[in-house]
Amino acid sequence: MKTENQEKEIVIRCGKTTDNFETLKELCEKEAEKLSETIRVTEHETVSVPCWTEDAPELICVARFEIGNGGSIVYNLDFSETTL
């Protein structure tokens, strides 16, 4: 997995286009969980992070991070925008 910062945009790259979709979902979940421990999010802000395959630019999902109840960072994965 690579996490890139391109002009303040965070990008996650994991898996390959030949991986099955369930595997890609698991990889995205794992990487989003890791990122939730270090990403900076302000109150009332949602940070969207695209998750791309490593071998070709195919969008797997978009991880959306925000501050939840209690002040901890929570995320959800939106697979509706996938290009696979």
Q: What is the pLDDT of residues 40-84, one digit of tens each?
A: 999 889 999 999 999 999 999 999 999 998 899 999 999 999 999
- Per-residue model confidence (pLDDT) at position 8: 65
How crowded is residue 34: how many other Cβ atoms within 10 Å of its Cβ? 13
Looking at this protein, which amino acid is placed at residue 37? E
Question: What does pTM read for this prediction?
Answer: 0.86
Do 52 and 60 touch, CB atoms closer than 8 A?
Answer: yes
Ranges of beta strands (E only) in 1-84 are 2-6, 9-13, 47-52, 59-67, 73-78
- Per-residue model confidence (pLDDT) at position 7: 43
**16 CA to centre of own chain:** 15
Assigned token pair, 77: 């994965």
